[in-house]
Amino acid sequence: MKKIVMALALGILGATGALGIGCGKDACATYADDLVAKYEECGITIASTSTSSSASATCTDADAKLLGCYDACLPDVNCACFKDPTGSTCADDQKKYNDCMTACGT
């Protein structure tokens, strides 16, 4: 489930490239865990449409650096705007998070 949530969330967040999923308890796994926790905190559920797989990607140093940076941005997420980014105040409410994500690069 965490692999699916991370893949979907990174797509939503605009990350590109092959990112490490299922890397053990490193920056990649930490980000996946923290992202799942943030989704739960915000009341967002993602239905699983895939069966479990034993295959996993390698968490490279570049992946770990990027996802470590993304992880540091998660506390700045405004749950209401994360769920519905079209809210009238979301541009301002999400500015700190968006600026953080932009500073991370890709």
What's the chain's length in residues?
106
The answer to whether the CB of 19 falls within 8 A of the CB of 3 is: no
Residue-range domain boundaries for the chain: 2-104
User: What pLDDT tens digit does each residue of the chain (106 aa) get?
Assistant: 344 434 444 444 433 333 434 444 789 999 999 999 999 999 988 776 655 555 567 899 999 999 999 999 999 999 999 889 999 999 999 999 999 999 998 5
Whole-number pLDDT of residue 5: 38
Whole-number pLDDT of residue 56: 66
Q: What angle do CA 46, 64, 2 make, to 5 degrees?
A: 20
Nearest to 9 by CA among 86, 82, 105, 62: 82
Cα–Cα distance between 75 and 106 in angstroms, integer?
19
Whole-number pLDDT of residue 57: 72
Cα–Cα distance between 26 and 33 in angstroms, integer?
11
